[in-house]
Amino acid sequence: MDLRNFIRQLGMLAGAGAMSMTIGNTPLRAFGKSLYKIKEVNGKVLVLIQMSGGNDGLNTVIPYEDSLYYNARPNIAISKSEAINLNSLTGLHPSMQPFKEFYDEGKLAIVQNVGYPSNNRSHFRSTDIWLSASDSDEYLNDGWIGRYLGNTVANDSNYNLDHPMAISLGSTQDTLLSCTCQSGSMGISFEDPNQFFQLINGSSADTDPPPNTVAGHQLKFIKDIAARSIRFAEIIKEKADTINNQVNYPNTDLADQLSIIAQLVAGGLETPVYLASIGGFDTHSNQLGRHANLLNNVAQSLGAFQRDLEALGVADRVVTMTFSEFGRTVEQNGSGGTDHGAAAPLFVLGSSVNGGIWGDNPDLSDLDGSGDNKFKFDFRQIYSTMLRDHLGAGPDDMENILFKNFETLPLVSVKHISSGGPRAFELNQNYPNPFNPSTRITYTLRLPQVISLKIFDVNGRLVKTLFNGYKEAGTFHEFFGGLKYPSGVYYCQLISGSYRKTIKMSLLK
Amino acid sequence: MGNIRSLEKVTAWDRSTAIHLLSRTLFGFTNEDVNFALSMSIDDYVDNYLLSDLHEPQSPGFWVNDTDSYNNSVRSRELTYWWYNLMLTQGHSFREKMVLFWHNHFVSELSVVKLPQRMYHQNRLFRQNAFGNFKELTKQITVDPAMLIYLDNTKNRKEDPNENYARELMELFTLGIGNYTENDIVEAARALTGWQVEGLQSYFNPDRFDDSQKTFMNETGNFNHEDIIEIIFKKPEVASYICRKLYKEFVYFEPDENVVDQLASIFRDNNYELKPVLSTLLKSTLLQSEEIIGAKIKSPIEFIISLTKQLKLTSPNYEYMRDIANDIGQTLFSPPNVAGWEGDKTWINTNTLPARHIFSDRIINGDRSPLKILEYARNYESSEDAEKFIDEIADIFFVYKLSDGRKEYLMELLLDGAAVYDWSTYNENAEARLISFFKSLCRLSEYQLT
């Protein structure tokens, strides 16, 4: 192996790499270029499905042994014989057959009664609450995903900044992806990779700095978008072009969005978060047929998506979760519909998901002051679970993202994954350094995982393996003694899955 | 900049003041329009032109009174083209911008309302009341057939109240969230019962009306929809809510609450007549302050129509305009939801900005327009003097003033290596250079601001 290749493998191409070692945690973004990409891509991916309008949870996950349900909804309840049987108490809406298969395969988790205290029944306010992960009486200007990306991924020297950190499929960019810590959106949005590329082709970014005025700030915003479009269009097209979808998707907008996500994930785009959306759930009137169509769309589209991910061999990395700003009233209204309500179930789908029904059917004999379902799980518990157990955010990160601690649910299996992603482990600079004859190497695992810790010399030869195997989460030390080795530079590398982190050490005799 | 946030009347009525006022009140303008405005006083221009009561325009066709759903998609296109045409041809009237403002305030969506005819009649209502009385408009929109259908108030009846309209009436149309209780919604919904739609007409059906006492905002009585609106309009928050929205639309996206208060008090003092508020605002030093000039991101419709007008295209390609408007996020008669288009930064993202560039490219190179660039350029007095030409064009195309660096960049494109004194629109390759010049000009980020 030649030196250059070796250094590439270490992720330390001269220049950016060297700098990242000397200045520690400073985001590489500051240097305007990213590290040479060496890692294979196996990072975790979270796909969020926004079901706008307020999905009627009671007609989605059916409590078919509860007479209170049938009393409240004489015309629009789903009967037990129609519902898809999940267990003796609970069924699924009949148009969601693909979800039944995932349920049986243990890939679908249904979390019951998700909401938040002091439920707000305005679409807009409640959507803001869900996207920003705020308390009901708290107003935040950015989104939980934006804060995750801005506070953790953006500061991770292992993240490849040639890839957008988040992608929203659809024409509007969301609060969800913005972070005030980075003054703006952490993601990009488009509808179709090829079209996006064509749109960008022929643009050029400009570099005149805008003045520090109100209008200057607006101009800077537009210039940033222009620069970002140019930067990402090529790689997105390239990744999408690499992959053909392996299954047929239904002919719906949501399915289109998901088929593109599958291509990008399988094509090797390292983007950790995607947002897809479907509207129309505000079923105030004549909801039976409309709601059936909507749920059919969701189940068929997500069904195709999951099967596609499985066929493409990337299903282990992807978890999909649905959300909607609120559920609907327990009682039907006079128009054959339901009005804005409160807590409702949501779905978490994926090969690494611990399937099943989490929580009980709604207790219709114990409703809130407005006669709506009480929440049993705070929606931020689900977010917390996704961030920590799926995306590998550390406990310290959570303070910047959700601001307080929310108990996680065991929705995602963390045990058997080979790597929790680049955020799941940390390798500190050795101490002392330079050293003679021995030095201490400290590393932290945020999840239990299989790792190896190895020392290489400057020619890329393996000098010593300090540890190789499974370890629980925690902070550990290993010592490296240099007695029998010559003075010079050595590299210590911590490998987890296909992620690696490296430090440079000097033995000075 | 002591009184930048003041509603005092401007003292200077000059070229840059006029350009800024026109950019906020019209859908684009030409050099001739600026000169026309400057030929009179600002009072004269605002009160007798921008805010003048024009006749109602002709309808898009006889079909607007048909109750059938024949040719819905053709009709909805005709309706959009008809409105584009009004935006382009209503001279110095502020009316169409206000109609769009109301369309984005009292939202209805064609896909729910079904008949383009109903959207036409609603649009007509906005035009008739564009700068009339807001309370009156609220009463009328409450029983407008499109609105009754859109927010389910046709299904709201005594036995089975439907709260959808009652909620949005307060949350989005008049008071804003936090200024009413959930119980107010329940009671208002009862007072709003009884309305139905037959074809293009709404009518009151007493059998479906909840003919009994309601207690709404601490008042009790057998209220109907007009009573509810009268009670709502007793609250000072109504004026603040609307004036804040006007500020955000026509001044700057982040409102100055102190100014909002001043406008709101004018609004209340004039019993919700819009003209006194708009007249004060349009003539104020506030609207003319350096701070906000060029600080508004053009909406897709502003972007599309103003380019068309700047290029003096008299028979534009409406179909293409509509397709692009759709791509960049503003399909008329189809706002995204009952809160309407959010505006400002949400207009621009990595998808819509490149699409805006494609639009201007294709209009300028004649691919999707009848533009003759040489003839167009020669319309300008300065067309044979490269430096003056760039200045004159920049004046009309950019409210946000271009830096010298940007002008130099444009100059390079125009000259394409030739010397300044060699420039002429009669040069062999002048057409290609002009096309590349105008394309690049519209691709500058500054062009997205107004």
Q: Is B298 part of any domain? A: no
Confidence of residue A195 (pLDDT cuts 50, 70, 90): confident
- Using the Cβ of A171 and the Cβ atoms of chain B, whether some distance falls under 8 Å is answered with yes
Single-letter amino acid, residue B294: G
Identify the closest residue of chain B to A338 by CA–CA distance: B162
Token look-up 């300008």 returns B380
Longest dimension (CA), chain B: 84
Q: What is the CA radius of gyration of chain A?
A: 25
Token look-up 């014989």 returns A81
Q: Is B380 part of any domain? A: yes
Q: What is the pLDDT of residue B250?
A: 95
Closest to B441 measured CA to CA, from B396, B404, B410: B410
pLDDT (tens digit per residue) in A369-408: 889 999 999 999 999 999 988 998 877 788 889 998 898 8
Which among B111, B184, B254, B350 is the top mutation candidate for probing chain A, defined by the most A β-carbons within 10 Å of its own β-carbon? B350
Reduced to 3 states, what is the DSSP secondary structure of residue B344? helix
Confidence of residue B23 (pLDDT cuts 50, 70, 90): very high
Mean pLDDT of A223-229: 84
Confidence of residue B192 (pLDDT cuts 50, 70, 90): very high
Contact between B349 and A222 using a beta-carbon 8 Å cutoff: no
Q: Is B152:B178 a contact under the CB 8 Å cutoff?
A: no
Enumerate long-range contacts of B384-389, CB under 8 Å, 24 or more apart.
B384/B423, B384/B424, B384/B425, B385/B423, B386/B411, B386/B414, B386/B415, B386/B420, B386/B423, B387/B411, B387/B420, B389/B414, B389/B423
Q: Is B93:B50 a contact under the CB 8 Å cutoff?
A: yes
Q: Is B386 part of any domain? A: yes
Mean pLDDT of A3-27: 31
Mean pLDDT of B230-244: 98
Reduced to 3 states, what is the DSSP secondary structure of residue A503? strand
Mean pLDDT of B199-214: 97
Q: Is A274:A217 a contact under the CB 8 Å cutoff?
A: no
pLDDT (tens digit per residue) in A430-487: 999 999 999 999 999 888 777 889 898 887 788 888 987 778 888 999 999 989 899 9
Residues of B in contact with A214 (CB under 8 A): 252, 291-292, 295
Q: Is A186:A150 a contact under the CB 8 Å cutoff?
A: yes
Backbone torsion region of residue B389, taken as left when φ is above 0, otherwise alpha when ψ lies between -120 and 50, otherwise beta: alpha
Token look-up 């022929």 returns A202
Q: What is the pLDDT of residue A10?
A: 39
* DSSP conformation class of A187: E
Tell me the C-alpha distance between B38 and B15, whole Å: 7
Tell me the C-alpha distance between B324 and A449, whole Å: 50
Q: What is the pLDDT of residue A17?
A: 26
Backbone torsion region of residue A433, taken as left when φ is above 0, otherwise alpha when ψ lies between -120 and 50, otherwise beta: beta
Q: What is the pLDDT of residue A183?
A: 63
Q: Is A50:A324 a contact under the CB 8 Å cutoff?
A: yes
Instruction: Judge if the upstream peptide bond of residue A432 is cis by omega within 30 degrees of 0.
Output: yes
Taken in order A359, A363, A368, A373, the sign of the CA dihedral is: positive
Decide which of B156 and A34 is more confident: B156
- Using the Cβ of B37 and the Cβ atoms of chain A, whether some distance falls under 8 Å is answered with no
Q: Which two tokens stand for residue A86?
A: 């999940």
Which among B351, B358, B400 is the top mutation candidate for probing chain A, defined by the most A β-carbons within 10 Å of its own β-carbon? B351
φ, ψ of residue A232 to 5 degrees: the values are -100, -15
Nearest-Cα distance to chain B for A469, in Å, is 44
Mean pLDDT of B212-233: 97
Q: Which residues pair with B202 in a beta bridge?
A: B197
Tell me the C-alpha distance between B83 and B77, whole Å: 10
Identify the closest residue of chain B to A223 by CA–CA distance: B445
φ, ψ of residue B109 to 5 degrees: the values are -120, 135
Tell me the C-alpha distance between A481 and A484, whole Å: 8
Beta strands in A363-498 (DSSP E): 377-378, 425-427, 438-445, 449-457, 462-471, 474-481, 488-496
Single-letter amino acid, residue B228: I
Q: Is B267 part of any domain? A: yes
Mean pLDDT of B255-267: 95
Q: Is B324:B367 a contact under the CB 8 Å cutoff?
A: no
Q: Is A339:B164 a contact under the CB 8 Å cutoff?
A: yes
Q: What does CATH list as the number for A418-509?
A: 2.60.40.3080
Angle, helices A193-200 vs A214-242, to 10°: value is 130
pLDDT (tens digit per residue) in A278-302: 989 999 999 999 999 999 999 999 9
Contact between A284 and B329 using a beta-carbon 8 Å cutoff: no
Q: What is the pLDDT of residue A182?
A: 72
Confidence of residue A34 (pLDDT cuts 50, 70, 90): very low
Q: What is the pLDDT of residue B410?
A: 86
Q: What is the pLDDT of residue A40?
A: 30
Average pLDDT, chain B: 93
Contacts of A485 (CB under 8 A, 6+ apart): A457, A463, A507
Contacts of A2 (CB under 8 A, 6+ apart): A460
Residue A354 pLDDT greater than 60, yes or no: yes
Tell me the C-alpha distance between A122 and A128, whole Å: 10
Mean pLDDT of B206-210: 97
Which among B327, B350, B405 is the nearest to A208, CB-wise? Answer: B405
Domain that includes residue B246, residue range: 237-292
Q: Which residues pair with B196 in a beta bridge?
A: B203
Confidence of residue A207 (pLDDT cuts 50, 70, 90): low
- Using the Cβ of A326 and the Cβ atoms of chain B, whether some distance falls under 8 Å is answered with no
Is A165 exposed, middle or buried (CB count within 10 Å of its CB: 0-12, 13-18, 19+)?
A: buried
Single-letter amino acid, residue B450: T
Number of continuous H segments (helices) and E segments (strands) in chain A: 12, 21
Q: Which two tokens stand for residue B172?
A: 């989005």
Tell me the C-alpha distance between A235 and A164, whole Å: 9
Q: Which residues pair with A190 in a beta bridge?
A: A169
Token look-up 């107010």 returns B184
Reduced to 3 states, what is the DSSP secondary structure of residue A276? strand
Reduced to 3 states, what is the DSSP secondary structure of residue B125? helix
- Using the Cβ of A30 and the Cβ atoms of chain B, whether some distance falls under 8 Å is answered with no
Tell me the C-alpha distance between B64 and B59, whole Å: 7
Contact between B400 and A279 using a beta-carbon 8 Å cutoff: no
Q: What is the pLDDT of residue B289?
A: 81
Q: What is the pLDDT of residue A154?
A: 83
Contact between A122 and B177 using a beta-carbon 8 Å cutoff: yes
Q: What is the pLDDT of residue A12?
A: 34
Average pLDDT, chain A: 84
Q: Of the candidates B265, B292, B319, which is a domain's last residue?
A: B292
Query: Which ranges in chain A are annotated with CATH 2.60.40.3080?
Result: 418-509
φ, ψ of residue A157 to 5 degrees: the values are -65, -15
Q: Of the candidates B259, B292, B325, which is a domain's last residue?
A: B292
Tell me the C-alpha distance between B151 and A67, whole Å: 31
Q: Is A225:B328 a contact under the CB 8 Å cutoff?
A: no
Tell me the C-alpha distance between B8 and B430, whole Å: 47
φ, ψ of residue B392 to 5 degrees: the values are -65, -40
Which among A202, A206, A340 is the nearest to B445, CB-wise? Answer: A206
Tell me the C-alpha distance between B411 and B419, whole Å: 10
Q: Which residues pair with A395 in a beta bridge?
A: none
Distances (CA, A) of B148 to B112, B142, B336: 11, 7, 18
Tell me the C-alpha distance between B185 and A473, whole Å: 52
Reduced to 3 states, what is the DSSP secondary structure of residue A198? helix
Identify the closest residue of chain A to B155 by CA–CA distance: A335
Tell me the C-alpha distance between B407 and B441, whole Å: 9
Strand bridging mode A61-62 / A91-92: antiparallel
Helix (H) / strand (E) element for B197: namely strand B195-198
Which among A177, A217, A335 is the top mutation candidate for probing chain B, defined by the most B β-carbons within 10 Å of its own β-carbon? A335
Residue A223 pLDDT greater than 90, yes or no: no
Residues of A in contact with B190 (CB under 8 A): none
Which among B197, B409, B435, B445 is the top mutation candidate for probing chain A, defined by the most A β-carbons within 10 Å of its own β-carbon? B445
Contact between A218 and B295 using a beta-carbon 8 Å cutoff: yes
Q: How many domains does chain B have?
A: 2
Mean pLDDT of A128-139: 92
Q: Is B408 part of any domain? A: yes
Q: Which two tokens stand for residue B202?
A: 């709404």
Confidence of residue B291 (pLDDT cuts 50, 70, 90): confident
Q: Is B173 part of any domain? A: no
What CATH class has A45-401?
Answer: alpha beta
pLDDT (tens digit per residue) in B86-140: 999 999 999 999 999 999 999 999 999 999 999 999 999 999 999 999 999 999 9
Residues of A in contact with B449 (CB under 8 A): 215, 218-219, 222
Tell me the C-alpha distance between A201 and B222, whole Å: 64
Q: What is the pLDDT of residue B18?
A: 94
* pTM reported for the whole predicted model: 0.71
Tell me the C-alpha distance between B296 and B299, whole Å: 9
- Using the Cβ of A284 and the Cβ atoms of chain B, whether some distance falls under 8 Å is answered with yes
Q: Count of alpha carbons within 13 Å of A270, Cβ hemisphere only? A: 20
Token look-up 């509860």 returns A66
Residue A2 pLDDT greater than 50, yes or no: no
Instruction: Judge if the upstream peptide bond of residue B255 is cis by omega within 30 degrees of 0.
Output: no
Distances (CA, A) of B354 to A197, A222, B327: 9, 11, 10
Tell me the C-alpha distance between B67 and B121, whole Å: 12
Contact between B354 and A279 using a beta-carbon 8 Å cutoff: no
Confidence of residue A204 (pLDDT cuts 50, 70, 90): low
Q: What is the pLDDT of residue A205?
A: 59
Residue A358 pLDDT greater than 60, yes or no: yes
Tell me the C-alpha distance between A216 and A96, whole Å: 50
- Using the Cβ of A221 and the Cβ atoms of chain B, whether some distance falls under 8 Å is answered with yes
pLDDT (tens digit per residue) in B33-45: 999 999 999 999 9
pLDDT (tens digit per residue) in B49-82: 999 999 999 999 999 999 998 889 899 999 999 9
Question: How many interface pairs between A and B have CB atoms less than 8 angstroms apart?
Answer: 131
